Structure 1
Amino acid sequence: MNLQNGFLLSYIKYGDHDAVLHCFTEEEGFQACFLKGIYAKKNKKKALLQPLNRLSFTVNPIKGNGIYTASRLELVNNYDMYTDVKINTIVFFVSDFLNQVLREEHKNPGIFSSIAEFIEILSHRNYQSHLTFLVKILKIHGVAPLVTSGQYLDPETGTFSSGLNHQLFTADISELWKNIISSPQPYDVKIPAPLRKDFLDSILVYYHYHITDFKIPASLEIIQQIFE
């Protein structure tokens, strides 16, 4: 057995009382864990199953072709922010997003610390932080755009050019990409509210070109409605 801690990305109820958790852990990267009895009537720890909660748990070695069995589930950080509808929507969207793009990711301290930083900033009611965070993940993966003197970002090549290459990547949207990528404090870059929907759409387009088998998260429609 060994102690691990990680961010909960998704969970699936299994039978009447058990669940399968998908987490991004500090020790192993993405992994699935089988958690017994979490939905039992007397088990109060099912309240810990909130997306992006940072949890510590003990895992038992894999037997055969099975998955880890987790036990001793505890909450590492308690952020009192899930009653805020906008924050809750952002959390569900980002966890949905990461549950897809980190599936093949092994131990990665850069990603783990970036998730922790994002949650800290989001807890201070930074309602644009998810946009910056998704660009930061591209940088960690080494597929972020290369900043040059061009005015318009070409999402397919990841370079800036003098002419418009994609209708979403206008001069304003391209400038936001430049500023976030090049800033030493990217979360301080202000994204004007009228541009946030188009900027998010541009991020999804860029992921489509540069992340293998990327699919639009199912929670996209909800986050777009809440910020209209």
Structure 2
Amino acid sequence: MIIKSKGIVLGYIKYGDSSIIARIFTEESGYGSYIVNSIRSQKTKKSIGHFQPFSILDLILYVKETRDLQRISEFKNHYPLHHLHHDPIKSSITLFLTEVFSKLLQSEQSPNPHLFSFAEESIKVLDALESGVANFHLQFLLKIGPHLGYAIDEIDNLFSSTDRLSPSSEVHKRMEVLMNEPYGVGLGMSRESRNEVLDEILNYYEHHAHIHKPRSLEVLRSILN
């Protein structure tokens, strides 16, 4: 079956001599792994740069229900990203979020148009954002919860559901602002406050989604610090 879909790239690994297997969240089929043939060949006219994390692509997919690993026939950029892969802070945030997002998407094997739309628009905002960039990953992980079926529409749910002690009133208030205000909200945060907020969010997802601390976490913290 041939499917046309938008897709958000979450990463890839090398496959064979010249191909890759890309992890992609697609609008029409959900999360999956796809072979891209000959993309690493010197003779190819296509650039592997299309498959940088959070790239948004137009795809033509060959899908067989009996096969776990599907195939990409054609691809092109759907939306040009001008800053995401060149700005060191944005690229570090992107690597961190794609790692966490991939783990959270393990159960999203079917279409979730609301989640896809949220992720797509968030990526576009991050690419264009000029202020509040250092807090983007906190807002993304707080705002995405309801789209994945996690009841963190209120900050108190982050703690009551995991039997953790609530943070200081100052941190609690900052988390509510991050969740409810648009990306880039003016909210100065110290390194300690930012780390505390992120730890609480990751503890919530570790408890409910059974995901471990991301490998890219310390790299992100070193860049933001």
What TM-score comes out, normalization by structure 2 length? 0.86
Partner of 1:87: 90
Whose relative contact order is higher, 1 or 2, with alpha carbons under 8 Å and at least 6 apart?
2
Indicate yes or no: 2:219 matched with 1:222: yes
Q: Secondary structure at the match of 2:144?
A: helix
Q: Secondary structure at the match of 1:130?
A: helix
**Structure 1: how far apart are the matches of 2:19 and 2:148?**
34
| Long gaps (5+) in structure 1 | none
**Structure 1: how far apart are the matches of 2:53 and 2:185?**
26
Partner of 1:200: 198
Q: How big is each residue's C-alpha offset from its partner over 1:123-172, in whole Å with a ceiling of 9 and x where there is no partner?
A: 22341222101111112233233649xxxx4644249xxxx9537x2212
Deviation for aligned residue 1:188:
5.2
**Structure 2: how far apart are the matches of 1:146 and 1:130?**
17
Partner of 1:114: 118
| Long gaps (5+) in structure 2 | none
Are the equivalent residues in 2 in contact too, given 1:5–1:55 (CA < 8 A)?
yes
Partner of 2:177: 179
The 5 A counterparts of 1:4-153 are 4-43=5-44, 44-62=46-64, 64-81=66-83, 82-105=85-108, 106-123=110-127, 124-125=129-130, 126-127=132-133, 128-145=135-152, 147=154, 153=156
State how many pairs are aligned: 216
Q: Secondary structure at the match of 1:9?
A: strand
Partner of 2:4: 3
1:146 and 1:15, CA in 2 relative to 1: closer, same or farther beyond 3 A? Answer: closer
The 5 A counterparts of 1:162-173 are 165-166=164-165, 169-173=167-171
Are the equivalent residues in 1 in contact too, given 2:151–2:157 (CA < 8 A)?
no
Q: Secondary structure at the match of 1:103?
A: helix
Deviation for aligned residue 1:180:
3.7
Are the equivalent residues in 2 in contact too, given 1:154–1:166 (CA < 8 A)?
no
Measured on the aligned residues, the alpha-carbon RMSD in Å equals 2.3
Q: How big is each residue's C-alpha offset from its partner over 1:63-94, in whole Å with a ceiling of 9 and x where there is no partner?
A: 74342111212111111112110011011111
| Larger proportion of helix | 2
Deviation for aligned residue 1:31:
1.4
Are the equivalent residues in 1 in contact too, given 2:136–2:184 (CA < 8 A)?
no
**Structure 2: how far apart are the matches of 1:205 and 1:33?**
31
